[in-house]
Amino acid sequence: MKYYIGVDLGTSAVKLLLMDQEGQVVNIVSREYPLSFPHPGWSEQNPEDWWEQSKEGIKELISKIDATEVAGISFGGQMHGLVILDENDQVIRPAILWNDGRTTKETDYLNQVIGKEKLSEYTANIAFAGFTAPKILWVKENEPENFAKICKIMLPKDYLAYCLTGVHCCDYSDASGMLLLDVKNKCWSEQMLEICGVSREQMPGLFESYEKVGTLKPEVAKELGLPETCLVAAGAGDNAAAAVGTGTVGDGQCNVSLGTSGTIFISSENFGVDPHNALHAFAHADGHYHLMGCMLSAASCNRWWMDTIIGTKDYGKEQEAIENLGENHVFFLPYLMGERSPHNDPQARGTFIGMSMDTSRADMTQAVLEGVAFAIRDSFEVAKSLGIHIERTKICGGGAKSPLWRKIIANVLNIKVDRIASEEGPALGGAMLAAVADGTFASVEAAAAKIVKVVETVEPDPEIAKKYETQYRKFVQIYPTVKALFPKLS
């Protein structure tokens, strides 16, 4: 029996999944690490923490199997984070993460001075505050001594791949979110490297997500108790890896992810760009392409509301009191960390509106769940405007475990929502990519066809969907109305 390890390098924890060659999940281990906010709107992590917790997690993960049968490791990882290494491959400064909002000035420079048309021509995308290129410009401007030391620029999961193999690598799906990749032609954009003041030599080698980048370094294999023959595949950005794990591969498939961030992910065999750049046009882990709308706070909104505001861990009990879907008088803008798709506004903030003396705790909880669903629909509407017809979607992420939230998503989007047997998204996708790299499956599509099973479909209720249509038309008026206030509040 062969085994494959999928590493989901998240924002709050690394989740490690062990899958056998038949696609059965054998074990799952999770290890947390700290997140730091050195200034309001900043978000950083120490890459060494990822590596230490991943190592400990792998040891625990394989403790009950014959570790010599582990044939491959691959990844799904938090995207966009800037990891910079010096000439000795030592981390220069803490990683600046995807949800860091410090680069407003650099993002404006790229979009306004370089120009959105040029950026879209070079990379198929425009600048967003979370992307990697603005972070490079920020370091260049604010930490010139650190900028001068840079020998390699990496993304979070690729730092793990480097620690395992000694190879500086990156896959096309994750590289797509750097604003440094010519997505259509799958190569580094010479124009963007020049704009950022970095060289091709400072960039990692590029691979398809399912390609082998190397094998374990002997000392690492010994420390982990794994064979030196264990291959490492390039892996994918978390959303592309989650799409693999939910079978959202091939042409015209859709996946909604309710993780820390929220995404709507539409796979395509052909390269295409949203002319308004509200959706990202990225490479996919199956070797093709995808369009993606990304909101910065999704299930994290519910966690914030439950843990920090209400002070409870019993999420299910709070949702039991919610009954009348589509009739709530309270609305919530889920922009706790600013927003990306489709507004591209790092200064946007979370907002409740519509409360009255009879507003209940359940109304507020419902508004949070609905606000996330409405914000996902914002990106869904952009996809529809491009002529993309979607009748159903897969769903994954922590928020997808809530039957109520699945029902809200189905009715707000007015499409069928398929829940799959494993909700492990990026970790399962990573293990599947390792299995493809090892030849157990001929392609990513073949792996998905064998492994991914739909266990439940939530159908929209015509009456509820009609009510949510009315509610959504109210929701879309809130952000444009209050938008001018956000810069004054920050």
List, by residue number, the catalytic residues. Answer: 238
- As to burial, measured by CB atoms within 10 angstroms (0-12 exposed, 13-18 middle, 19+ buried), residue 389 is exposed
User: 163: closest CA among 52, 297, 313?
Assistant: 52
113: three-class secondary structure by DSSP: helix
What's the rounded Cα separation, in Å, for the pair 176 and 186?
Answer: 9
List strand residue ranges (DSSP E) for 363-450, in order: 392-396, 416-420
13 by Cβ neighbours in 10 Å (0-12 / 13-18 / 19+) ranks as: middle
Question: If residue 327 lies in a helix (H) or strand (E), which one and from where to where?
Answer: none
Going by C-beta distance under 8 Å and a sequence separation of 6 or more, which residues neighbour residue 212?
72, 231, 232, 233, 437, 438
Identity of the residue numbered 465: A
Binding residues: 79-80
Q: How far apart are the first and last CA of the chain?
A: 56
Q: Residues within the annotated binding site for substrate? A: 79-80
User: Residue 250: which region, alpha, beta or left (left: phi > 0; alpha: psi -120 to 50)?
Assistant: left
Beta strands in 201-272 (DSSP E): 205-207, 212-215, 231-233, 236-237, 254-258, 262-268
Give the number of other Cβ atoms within 10 Å of residue 103's Cβ: 28
Burial of residue 387 (number of CB atoms within 10 Å: 0-12, 13-18, 19+): exposed
Q: List phi, psi (to 5°) of 439.
A: 90, 5
238 close to 378: Cβ distance less than 8 angstroms: no
Residue 229 neighbours by CB under 8 Å, 6+ apart: 71, 215
CB atoms within 10 A of CB 386: 15
DSSP reduced 3-state for 126: coil
Structure tokens at 175: 């590289």
Burial class (CB in 10 A: 0-12, 13-18, 19+), 191: middle
| 379, 419 contact by CB (below 8 A) | no
